[in-house]
Structure 1
Amino acid sequence: MKTIFITLALLGLTMGISAQNQQIDSLEGTKVVLDEVFVQALRVTKASPVTFSNVKKEDIAPRNLGQDIPVLLNFLPGVVTTSDAGAGVGYTGIRVRGSDATRVNVTINGIPYNDSESHGTFWVNMPDFASSTESLQLQRGVGTSTNGAGAFGASLNLLTDAVSGEAYGQISSSIGSFKTLRNNIKFSTGLLNDHMEVSGRLSRISSDGYIDRASSDLESYFLQAAYKDDNTLIKALIFGGKEITYQSWNGIDAETLKVDRAFNPSGKYTDEDGNTRFYDNEIDNYKQDHAQLLWNEKISDQWSTNIAFHFTHGRGYFEQYKEDEDFQDYGLEPLTITNLEVNTTDLIRRRWLDNDFYGAVFSANYAKNKLDLIIGGGYNNYEGDHFGEIIWARFASNSEIRDRYYDDSSKKSDFNMYTKANYDLTDKLSLFGDLQYRTVGYSANGEETGPVDDTFNFFNPKAGLVYDLNANNNFYFSYAVAHREPNRDDYKNGTPKPEKLNDYELGWRYVSQNFQLNLNTYYMHYKDQLVLTGDIDDTGDYLRANVDKSYRAGLELDANIRISEKFAVRPNVAVSTNKIEDFILVRNGATQNLGDTNIAFSPNIVAGNAIAYTPFKNLGLSLLSKYVGEQYLSNTDTEASKLASYFTNDFNVSYEIVPRKVLKSIVLSALVNNIFNIQYVSNGYTYLDNFSDPNNSVEVQGYFPQAGTNFLLGATLRF
């Protein structure tokens, strides 16, 4: 079955959301709409030598029933997604070309979204954000210069809702497996006096999750006020969300996977009578609010400018029941009870994060004749407090209410400037250049990180050529350099080095009325790459370590084939090799050269499949499939650390009813995930356990199983 699927993919009989979903017949593309000026400095077109995919809200609308943005992007080339709770609600993750979410640069309206310290993207903090997203562009590889940390696997930029010319109201609801429920309301005033618009959204999502107790209780909001005239577009936005999720980031071992796939060890403890129990409030509780002010001004036919100011405030904690904790780890003094010294206790702790992120980004665009020039950059600051509290202890020792057993702070500044230019050398050949300077300062005083006071200065040049053979074919080649600073977790595990990436991209695009094709190959060579070791910490975050030299090389194909007015297929397949060169493993104090080994979490083949059928105008049917090849959970190439391949299929149907009165439309949607009930694991971890015998380490694995057959049903009423 797997061989057949891969063969079909390579023959072009599979589908994924491609960069050319629009029905166009030349490489000129489509006109940039007004709202897109806010991301114009970061996005690329077919005139640039960058590998990318575009996704519009219409592309994901039939499946937008409450699952997170990474899950909605699952069918893009080279993308692998996972869900802690097993069903796409709650904590979700994305990897592109084998690079995890900490290495995928994410911006919203050109403003960095990745957490400044961890570099992660926590979509759970903004549930249902897809319902306020106008479009997305995923650039694979280094891509073009962007704001925030360098893109080491990809960059993803999101554009929020466009200004609506007409007033509307919308109510959406969906229900599904595991008691999943999503409700949202949206509205727009339309343009008032041809210039002003106010729009917004309120959402709530709840789910029990596939994994035991992996519940999610999520709320979010989005409010936008906009002003526009012939030369000006100004938007003021506030948006954010609150999440309470029961922890499910610990995974399960191989034996438990065989007998109880949905088991969740989080919150497990033994009471005084020796009974196994689960703490009912083993939760993650976090709230995040964003404010953005965006201003675009068209100065002349050649010049336009963008400036954006932003502020984000996040605060919250995760709560844990811990058994037999040492007093000294919490700054507590030993107790003497009936002549016995007591120096351990059961306790409940909260580990807090309270942070602010603020700054400004800007760009200016000049376009005339053969030259398209962009100058831009940004300055951003982050201030974060990390602290811990004991809210209950069996033996409290000398603790006082609201004592902090640790109290750390950190600061980070990030400044970058870039200049990008496309210049037409001839009618068919254009030259692309992109120079970026970025300086990052990071300081921290945590017990886990130790004192940190580092400054990094990065120069990131990029260049390429685009050759338009004719109106339907173009070819491109590019070379790009990117650098990245270590994140907070890297400092916990040693003295990390910054990373450097040299990325070479070669591609061909073909576009006609009924057939669009993207074919590209890449070679990404890293110096001091911080690769995932496969191990995780006590909050489910993956640990990383520098390796001297490593590379990723691959071939990616995606297409859109319209066979008839009613039937279409859109293939994508990514084949790659991902290696650490001369990997040195340190085990039990001894070093071992394992030679060239596979990089963890980097499958050699990822392919998507969907067949779309539209029997009549208002009805759409899609069969979507995903194949992810086997991958390793560590960098040692051991059989024990190998994660099996999997092949899943989803079925999606959407039907629109257009009433004659009151309502503008009613859209009914259904999504059945994993229709063949495949028992698969999309993620995991591994570590060396040498506590029982320091001379004979044992490789231990943990797994994150995903749900079998499950469904979501939804209805959207627009008036």
Structure 2
Amino acid sequence: MNRLVVALFAQFLPISLLAVTLMGKVVDLETQKAIQGATIQLKGQSKEQISSKQGLFQFNNLKAGSYSLSVEKTGYLPKSITLDLRADFNLTLELKAQNVYESMTVSATRAVERSTPVVFSDMSSEAIMQEHTVEDVPMLLVGQPNVYSYSDDGSGMGYSYLKIRGFDQSRIGVMVNGIPLNDPEDHQVYWVDMPDFAESLDSIQIQRGVGSSLYGVDTFGGSVNLQTTQKHTDETYQAAFFGGSYATLKASLKAEIPLADESWHLSVRASSLKTDGYRDNSGSEQWAGYLALARFGEESVTRIIAYTGNEYTHAAWEASAESDLQENHRHNPISYDNTIDNFTQPHYELHHSWFPSDQIHWKNTVFAIKGKGYYEQYKYGRDMWEYGLWEEPDTAPEADIIRQKWVRKEQYGWISEFNLEHDKGKLTVGSYWSTYNSNHWGEVDDLMDLDLPNYTPGFIYYRYVSDKDTLALYVNELFKPNDQLTIMANLHYQDMDYSLDQQEAGNFKGENLHSLKTDYRFFSPRFGINWNIDDQFNVFFNVSRANREPADSQLFDTWQGPDDLGVAPLFNQAHREIVNSMLIRTHWTDPQVKEEELTDYELGALYRTPAMSLRANFFYMDFRNEIVPYGQVNDDGFPIRGNADKTVHRGVELSGTFKLNDNWTLDTNYSINDNYFKEFEYKEFDWGTGEVATLDFSGNTIAGFPDIVANTTITYTRSSFNTSLRWQHFGRQYLDNTEDAERIIPDYNMLHAWAHFSLPWKGRLDDAQLSLKINNITNEKTYSAGYYDAWADENYYWPTAGTHAQLGLRLTFKP
């Protein structure tokens, strides 16, 4: 009892009576040499130091008491200790080199501060868990510089989308553990197929611009590198439960289990999520599982990772007319109750890293990604000939139908990367190979008010298969002529072969049966230089080249695809396959739509002290042959999909982090974007005159991205409590490329907050943490994305959700 009274009384003594100093040195366990640049943090105190060139650090004016101290440095195992400080204390922190317990980080895709000459930002596992409740990964990135994210149902679950510097996610390279996640065929990233994936993430790195990635989809706007849990941690079990607005519920269980004298490690997770969604009829039910088994040897580390999940989501992918949203901000134009998307996509990974010496690291990864699912729709007044249920197009009746569109796809790949540390830097030589196959088909599941003798439910009216093989070879050198300079030079060669073949189904036969084949060869050099002027200030410059082949849908005209009967692809050369005087199919080569090309120029600077960091980056991106809906005309003079000659994405990105005192931290970033067509003539068909009009959009702003993206987050931290408040500003977005002032999303502001509190009554638990996250505190009724519909002469939008919140409880147990 006396000890309790003394402890309570001590909390009210002047800090000058209790102030102590903690100082120390960080050294290599084996060599005992000082380690510079290690991050030493007092958890729960917002106190952080960076070790000096001599490995030294010092914390002043600490209150006497118990502290949890952690130290991290790239290339070393993280270390945590608990200290009971009653007087000034000096300690030595010995870090063990990580070459034996190599992390899963793919060095060819991961940037390093003050070394790699690219602009990037990182989110640690702690930062991810601070913000994550139930939302998909893109919604966790909204506070990062020049990043814009939204979900079509407004709640952050379901289908979510990511943009960087005005580029949509089909032009952003996303990787999980170094494995490309973008679909090889349409380049998209389906975040909805990875429910609650943030629970298994160890870190996220966002590189803006072409960056330093060497394989996968060439990055234009940037790359997002997701690293799943990799730390060699103690045995830990955790349960998390969340509930909140729109009947949203989540339960998650996960465990970290060392095995066999810590030479093996097991990570597992299971999650279940459900929401009604913000928009009408936009609910989603999801489950997910994650498993990773790692073996740590004397000279190698091997990891087997598998994760999967299922999403059953009511569609909200169609925008609503502005007039409908003015009456009901939760409006969803899709009213059929069973318009659902049902998809499962398991991922399998095998990683092996071998370290025959301190200078050599050879990593090999093999992977398999499989997927199968469908979406269902109710379609009004459909032509039965188009659906293969009537022989003659001129006499075909119409009927309402229920259809399902299915896809089954498989991708297999191998990544090999050889790293050599030498006296003047690091050389990386590698290769990436993958083969991809997809099978698409459509079913008529029900006919309304029409009786056809040849119809049975599940009738297949189209089917096509596609194959894509990709090979990439790359070499990357980080050359350090002295302690201040790092020169990056890399060469990247990519070879792709793609084919698509429609199969006989319904009325897809003869003149309506098409095949296409094309190949692409890209050579993308990149060069950069980083100059560390002193221990606090560095500048960098890079120029990078990137190329991107058209997605599958971009090989057809706007609003058309390989599932549309009587539609030929946009190709120049046709070869008719004739057997016994009958046309069997048409083979197409030489696509009309050109591949896209980008040259990216980046100039940046970083100034960092223990109390703050300041970053500035200037970018100019010269974009050639951007694929646009109506960039050319066909032989009959009608506008079709094509390329814009020249577009430019340029801007300024500023960011800063300030440790105001022991408890308060301020993070802020401000980005200005100027994205415009430099040379582009838009082709528009005038239905009144029957002629094609050419509109010169040169100099016009590119639609679909804010001209300003700004975030400011202030955080207050105590030992058992922390809270953050974030203000966001998004500038004006145009809905089309005309720069019509009536076709915009006006600029808007958002305010969000979250808090975490460790409960004092834990029982046998190590931690019981209560959390609350409130989004859109001021209940702004605005829009996140949209377009202008010329047929309806009206703006269409995806609405943002009003004020919504999630309450969570996270329980942690360490035996």
Give TM-score, length-normalised by structure 2. 0.79
Counterpart-to-counterpart distance in 2, 1:572 and 1:403: 54
Shift of 1:163: 4.2
Q: 1:419-438, aligned counterparts within 5 Å?
A: 419-438=475-494
Q: 1:525-544, aligned counterparts within 5 Å?
A: 525-531=622-628
Counterpart-to-counterpart distance in 2, 1:520 and 1:385: 44
Cα deviation code 1:44-75 (max 9, x no counterpart):
11201101111111002122111110001110
- Matched residue, 2:108: 41
Asked if residue 360 in structure 1 is aligned to residue 414 in structure 2, the reply is yes
Of 361, 365, 372, 1:308 maps to 365
- Matched residue, 2:666: 569
- Matched residue, 2:133: 65
- Matched residue, 1:252: 320
Of 207, 218, 242, 2:286 maps to 218
Q: 1:382 to 1:658 in 2, by over 3 A?
A: farther
Cα deviation code 1:170-196 (max 9, x no counterpart):
110100100000111001222432201
Residue 683 of structure 1 contacts residue 704 of structure 1 at CA under 8 Å; is this kept in 2? yes
Counterpart-to-counterpart distance in 1, 2:422 and 2:758: 44
Residue 193 of structure 2 contacts residue 345 of structure 2 at CA under 8 Å; is this kept in 1? yes
Asked if residue 415 in structure 1 is aligned to residue 471 in structure 2, the reply is yes
Shift of 1:449: 11
- Matched residue, 2:515: 451
Shift of 1:699: 4.1
- Matched residue, 2:725: 623
Asked if residue 582 in structure 1 is aligned to residue 684 in structure 2, the reply is no
**5+ residue gaps in structure 2?**
1-45, 56-71, 78-100, 503-507, 558-569, 571-591, 632-639, 686-691
Counterpart-to-counterpart distance in 2, 1:710 and 1:501: 40
Asked if residue 521 in structure 1 is aligned to residue 618 in structure 2, the reply is yes
Give the 4+ runs in structure 1 shifted more than 4 A.
20-23, 25-29, 446-450, 531-534, 658-661
- Matched residue, 1:139: 207
- Matched residue, 1:461: 525
Letter in 1 for 2:74: K
Counterpart-to-counterpart distance in 2, 1:642 and 1:26: 51
- Matched residue, 1:613: 716
Shift of 1:155: 0.5
Letter in 2 for 1:428: Q
Of 187, 195, 205, 1:119 maps to 187
Report SS of the residue matched to 1:149: coil
Letter in 2 for 1:301: D
Q: 1:307 to 1:38 in 2, by over 3 A?
A: farther
Of 397, 418, 422, 1:343 maps to 397
Report SS of the residue matched to 1:617: coil
- Matched residue, 2:388: 331
Letter in 1 for 2:660: I
Letter in 2 for 1:568: T
Residue 38 of structure 1 contacts residue 294 of structure 1 at CA under 8 Å; is this kept in 2? no
Q: 1:142-153, aligned counterparts within 5 Å?
A: 142-153=210-221
Letter in 2 for 1:353: V
Of 429, 438, 451, 1:384 maps to 438
- Matched residue, 1:644: 746
**5+ residue gaps in structure 1?**
1-19, 268-278, 535-542, 690-697
Shift of 1:488: 1.2
Q: 1:449 to 1:215 in 2, by over 3 A?
A: farther
Letter in 1 for 2:341: D
Residue 439 of structure 2 contacts residue 466 of structure 2 at CA under 8 Å; is this kept in 1? yes
Counterpart-to-counterpart distance in 1, 2:210 and 2:726: 28
Counterpart-to-counterpart distance in 2, 1:157 and 1:187: 23
- Matched residue, 2:694: 591
Cα deviation code 1:256-277 (max 9, x no counterpart):
111111111113xxxxxxxxxx
Counterpart-to-counterpart distance in 2, 1:149 and 1:529: 16
Of 683, 703, 706, 2:800 maps to 706
Q: 1:21 to 1:409 in 2, by over 3 A?
A: farther
Counterpart-to-counterpart distance in 2, 1:148 and 1:430: 25
Residue 707 of structure 2 contacts residue 733 of structure 2 at CA under 8 Å; is this kept in 1? yes
Report SS of the residue matched to 1:90: coil
Counterpart-to-counterpart distance in 2, 1:449 and 1:674: 51
Counterpart-to-counterpart distance in 2, 1:21 and 1:429: 30
Counterpart-to-counterpart distance in 1, 2:102 and 2:806: 32
Report SS of the residue matched to 1:482: strand
634-643 or 89-98, which moves further after superposition?
Answer: 634-643
Counterpart-to-counterpart distance in 1, 2:760 and 2:478: 45
Report SS of the residue matched to 1:470: coil
Residue 164 of structure 1 contacts residue 191 of structure 1 at CA under 8 Å; is this kept in 2? no
Letter in 2 for 1:715: L
Q: 1:544 to 1:315 in 2, by over 3 A?
A: farther
Cα deviation code 1:594-652 (max 9, x no counterpart):
331111113211111111112x2111110012111001122221223212111101011
From the CA coordinates, give the structure whose radius of gyration is larger.
Answer: 2
Asked if residue 24 in structure 1 is aligned to residue 50 in structure 2, the reply is yes
Residue 630 of structure 2 contacts residue 683 of structure 2 at CA under 8 Å; is this kept in 1? no
Q: 1:704 to 1:214 in 2, by over 3 A?
A: same
Of 412, 423, 427, 1:373 maps to 427
Percent sequence identity over aligned pairs = 31
Asked if residue 74 in structure 1 is aligned to residue 142 in structure 2, the reply is yes
Report SS of the residue matched to 2:195: coil
Q: 1:676 to 1:23 in 2, by over 3 A?
A: farther
Residue 659 of structure 2 contacts residue 666 of structure 2 at CA under 8 Å; is this kept in 1? yes
Letter in 1 for 2:756: S
571-580 or 655-664, which moves further after superposition?
Answer: 655-664
Shift of 1:425: 2.0
What is the count of residue pairs matched by the alignment? 669
Residue 162 of structure 2 contacts residue 168 of structure 2 at CA under 8 Å; is this kept in 1? yes
- Matched residue, 2:27: none
- Matched residue, 2:593: 496
Report SS of the residue matched to 2:103: helix
Give TM-score, length-normalised by structure 1. 0.90
Counterpart-to-counterpart distance in 2, 1:21 and 1:687: 53
Residue 178 of structure 1 contacts residue 208 of structure 1 at CA under 8 Å; is this kept in 2? yes
Letter in 2 for 1:466: N
Residue 644 of structure 2 contacts residue 679 of structure 2 at CA under 8 Å; is this kept in 1? no
- Matched residue, 1:165: 233
Letter in 1 for 2:798: F
Q: 1:69-108, aligned counterparts within 5 Å?
A: 69-108=137-176
Residue 284 of structure 1 contacts residue 318 of structure 1 at CA under 8 Å; is this kept in 2? yes
